[in-house]
Structure 1
Amino acid sequence: MWGNAAAATPLPTIVEIDPGEALDGYLERVADANYLSTAHLVTLIRNASDTLRYITLAPSPATIAAIAALTGQRPDQIHQATLSAYDHTALDLTGFDPTIRSGHRAVAARGWFPGRGTQICPPCLAHDGRWRLIWRLPTTTVCRVHGVYVLSTCPGCHRPFRDHRHSPLRVVGAETRCGNPLGQGPRKQCTVDLTALPTTPADPACITRQERHDKAAAGAITSTALGDLAPADYLATTRSLAVLLLHISTAAPDSSRLPAWAQALRPDAPRRTIRWGLRPPHDPQLRSHALTAADCVLTASDLDAAVECLMPWLDSLPDLPESRLGWLADHTRMTPTLTRLVLASHAPRRRLSHLLDQVPPLTASTRQLPQVLPEPLVETHLIGLFDSRPRTVGLFASLCLARTHPNIDSWAKAAHALGLAPDLGDRTARACSASLTGSPREVVAALRAATRGLDVDYRDLEHRVRRLARTHRWFTRWARTNRPGTRASSHPYAVHWVWTRVAHGHASAAPAAVGSTRAQNFERSLTAAQTAALTAAAALSGQG
């Protein structure tokens, strides 16, 4: 598997490779331990292998075998010290061939390809002088050991660390100086001490995101709002969503609702030339914030919470000549998981719920909200925005009004606040969102207009009707005065009528359970005078 390295003679001093150490940094330590120049060691490897091209990315089997023979390490240890160790997790090297000069192009076209150089954590280098392999991943932005952002550019030469084209190893060997060539002759290198460079403490959310990233890169399953994701799916979706958030940040006409890092990004990013999908932000802190924002969406408690996290970004998009979904698909690589999330965020129910959660309360209290918005208000303000029946629209309208109040952030909580079964809120929201014909903003405007007719304490009115359900004297008096010959068995139907037509309660919560057909027949038999008398009975029930 690892090729033939019979021509390689083992070096006299064996140096053990550390887990997580990058191959080039390890080879520099090998050269120093054997009193060799790095150029001499490179020559020994080249003479025993076929090519040194892409030695830090995915060296050929012959190259791995040659290095293993020279250093006394196992071939699998050498392989684990190259970026190919992250294939099928943080990287996708499908189709890559190290023996072809342009073999990296197909992989690089997938975006966020580790280029020349590496990032560093100065405290780590100061501790043991080891160059970590994981620093090379663009999705690595934080050192979890020291809780700081990694650095990407040397302040002395203003180039990436280990940015040398003509040899995979630095002339300075295992020293912790920068060692980048300065272009002033073969012996001129940058002398900045990397261990003394200042660092910036990382945000706790960025550290948490990095921990999930590192576990996934090592092959762990990640729990998300859309279920457990395989390492490659989680890491690819996080990166794709981060790319999308970066594009939204640069395209948003009004970024005031976006995080500070996104607002700071917009003035410096030309809208038409930026290609975040191919090349990530060079600044590790900016890259970290984008990846962390994407991770917060994916790892929300459930799909609804994930959509709520994503909605401020989607609402910041400008008016687009093409479809919103088309724009999103054009600006990132849509993984199956990201596609599910984006489609969920465009469901009318979710878009309306997010908008309602941003609206100040439209009534002083939820006590001023009936369980079902009165039909005259529905017919005046909401007819034409839904294809559902007026009573269903009235129930949904009351749930929507409840959603505008603090701490009511779900349809189940809205139903509970109105005295209804929580699952009724979810069912009604699904039904009405499927029949929504107007825009969410039109619905909010109609609800705002409808609240001008709500000035009754409906919880008190419901209490009065429940009192009517427990007594019969009022019904006997009403029947004798307004409807002679009415049977005492009609008492539940009268209570039901007062509940639904005066208190505007929902039939499922009525204090008197009756069949819908008989309740409708009783209602049809009432005259205007009789309904007025029933309404008065409900008003009088609060006295005494």
Structure 2
Amino acid sequence: MLVTSLPRSLDPLPDESLSGYVLRLSHRLTLPPGWLMRHTWIGSLNAHGLLASNSALAIALPKDVTTRVALTTRLHPDEVAALTLACWNGRYPPITRALESKAGGRRRAGDWLFRSAARFCPECLAGDGSLIQQQHGGPWKKTWRLPVVFACLEHRRYLRHWCPGCHQAPDASTGSRLVARVGDAGLHPAQCRNSPQPTEGRKRADPACGTRLDQPIVADPTPLSQDILSLQARILRHLSPDIPQREASEYFTDLQLVAALIVMTWPEALHLIPHSAGMITDRYLRHLAA
């Protein structure tokens, strides 16, 4: 198989997701993400001549696609595989189940896996100040795709789940695709790629929302307590090799069961939760019940 390597590439950032890497590299190449996805086999043309790329590829890539991406981007296959959630197979049960279950040859993401990077930390997206991250932004992180990750320990803040411009989740236009608006070449990786909400007079060719999601927040209305930070740190530790795989798997299974019990019996557990987190939980569950 003859594969032409790209003239320029990028080193993956720590915890970077596959979709985030595609956005950063296509931005560096000043090419639409769709061109890069087709060139690396992450995407392919469907029967209608449109680029198709399933969001389940964020969980794991087929071996031939991993090889193609590695050769094209001059990365090691292990670096390519590390962009997916498969690195937590056997440790985080929803990923294990997604890898084991297929429908029509495609993996399905369960309720405890976000189909795309639905939450984010603006400061992380802004980058670490290095030249490459000043130009192309910081990472869209894999951990943000896990519902058990709700805070950024480095910046001591809850993750955001909406775009301040269009007031939608930043992946609302993605659907079952890995990346939204794959034909747009001019968007920065930290810009919202949502299409305008359908209204009379709007066309599919209308530009994306385009709001920068990497702008710092002057004041977070819900500061994190040390208890919440400690809980998030404990959860993240179970994703690391520091904890035996079986112990981690049992921990996350127990976490799912406890969460289900809290939801079913709410507000019986309200007094067990720190005040600020309890109020957030109460608002969320009342919203779901409405």
Structure 2 length-normalised TM: 0.75
Give the deviation of 1:218 after TM superposition.
1.7
How much has 1:167 moved relative to structure 2?
A: 4.8
Give the deviation of 1:257 after TM superposition.
Answer: 4.2
Aligned: 1:134 with 2:143: yes
Please tell me whether the aligned partners of residues 180 and 189 of structure 1 are also in contact (alpha carbons under 8 angstroms): yes
* Pairwise CA distance, 1:166: 7.0
Residue number among 240, 243, 248 corresponding to 1:221 in the alignment:
243
Match of 1:134, SS state, is helix
Residues 1:46 and 2:28 are matched in the alignment: no
The higher relative CO (CA closer than 8 Å, separation ≥ 6) is in: 2
Give 5+ residue unaligned stretches, structure 1.
1-5, 223-227, 275-544
Q: 1:190 to 1:28 in 2, by over 3 A?
A: same
State yes or no: 1:206 paired with 2:231: no
CA deviation map 1:334-356 (0-9, x unaligned): xxxxxxxxxxxxxxxxxxxxxxx
Q: Distance in 2 between matches of 1:73 and 1:12?
A: 13
Cα pair 1:123 1:146 within 8 Å, conserved: yes
Q: Distance in 2 between matches of 1:98 and 1:35?
A: 37
Query: For the Cα contact (< 8 Å) 1:21–1:131, is it kept in 2?
Result: yes
Deviations along 1:211-235, one digit per CA (max 9) or x if unpaired, are 122221123228xxxxx97111112
1:177 to 187, 191, 196: 191
Say whether 1:10 aligns with 2:13. Answer: no
Q: Deviations over 1:181-207 (max 9, x none)?
A: 225423421122212253443221111
Aligned match for 2:260, one of 243, 247, 269:
243
Residue 80 of structure 1 deviates from its aligned partner by: 0.9
Distance 1:175 1:202, change over 3 A: same
Are the aligned partners of 2:116 and 2:178 in contact in 1 as well (CA < 8 Å)? no
State the Cα deviation string for residues 382-408 of structure 1 (Å, max 9, x = none). xxxxxxxxxxxxxxxxxxxxxxxxxxx
Report the CA distance shift for 1:258/1:205 in structure 2 as closer, same or farther (over 3 A). closer
Q: Identity percentage over the alignment?
A: 21
Residue 96 in structure 1 maps to residue 110 in structure 2: no
> Are the counterparts in 2 of residues 89 and 219 from structure 1 also a CA contact under 8 Å?
no
Amino acid at match of 1:157: C
Name the CA shift for 1:15/1:99 in 2 (closer, same or farther; >3 Å): farther
The residue number in structure 2 matching 1:80 is 82
Residue 25 of structure 1, aligned match among 17, 20, 37: 20
Structure 2 gap segments, 5+ residues each: 46-51, 128-132, 198-202
CA distance in 2, matches of 1:138, 1:256: 20
CA–CA separation in structure 2 for the residues paired with 1:16 and 1:174: 18
3-state SS of paired residue (1:84): helix
Q: How far has the Cα of 1:137 moved from its partner?
A: 0.9
1:70 maps to a residue whose letter is T
Query: Greater helix percent: which structure?
Result: 1
Q: Deviations over 1:276-332 (max 9, x none)?
A: xxxxxxxxxxxxxxxxxxxxxxxxxxxxxxxxxxxxxxxxxxxxxxxxxxxxxxxxx
AA aligned opposite 2:240: A
What is the 5 A alignment of 1:138-537?
138-163=147-172, 164-165=174-175, 167-170=177-180, 171=184, 172-183=186-197, 184-196=203-215, 198=217, 199=220, 200-221=222-243, 230-250=247-267, 252=268, 257-259=271-273, 260=275, 261-262=277-278, 265=281, 269=285
1:44 is displaced (CA, Å) by 1.3
Question: Measured at CA, do residues 14 and 92 of structure 1 come closer, stay the same or move farther in structure 2, by a change above 3 Å?
Answer: closer
Question: Match for residue 521 of structure 1?
Answer: none
Determine if contact 2:122/2:216 at 8 Å carries over to the other structure: yes
1:189/1:249 Cα in 2 relative to 1: closer, same or farther (>3 Å)?
Answer: same
Tell me the distance in 1 between the aligned counterparts of 2:27 and 2:168. 25
Residues of 2 paired with 1:264 and 1:169: CA distance? Answer: 30
Q: Matches of 1:209 and 1:264 in 2, distance apart?
A: 16
Contact 1:162–1:180 (Cα < 8 Å) also in 2: yes
Deviation at 1:262, TM superposition (A): 4.2
Does structure 1 retain, via aligned residues, the 8 Å contact 2:20–2:189? Answer: no
DSSP 3-state at the match of 2:58: coil
Aligned counterparts of 1:263 and 1:148: Cα–Cα separation in 2 = 16
**Residues 97 and 35 (structure 1 numbering): CA distance in 2 closer, same or farther, change over 3 Å?**
farther
Q: Deviations over 1:19-55 (max 9, x none)?
A: 2111111112221222322121122123898984222
How far apart are residue 122 of structure 1 and its match? 0.6
Matched to 2:255, the amino acid is T
Q: Provide closer, same or farther for how the CA distance between residues 263 and 72 of structure 1 changes in structure 2, counting only shifts above 3 A.
A: closer
Q: Distance in 2 between matches of 1:121 and 1:270?
A: 25
After superposition, the C-alpha distances for 1:413-442 in whole angstroms (9 at most, x for unaligned) are xxxxxxxxxxxxxxxxxxxxxxxxxxxxxx
Contact 2:117 2:142 in 1 (8 A): no
Distance 1:218 1:136 in 2: 16
Aligned length: 257
CA distance in structure 2 between the partners assigned to 1:83 and 1:36 by the alignment: 26
Residue matched to 2:114: 114
* Alpha-carbon RMSD: 3.3
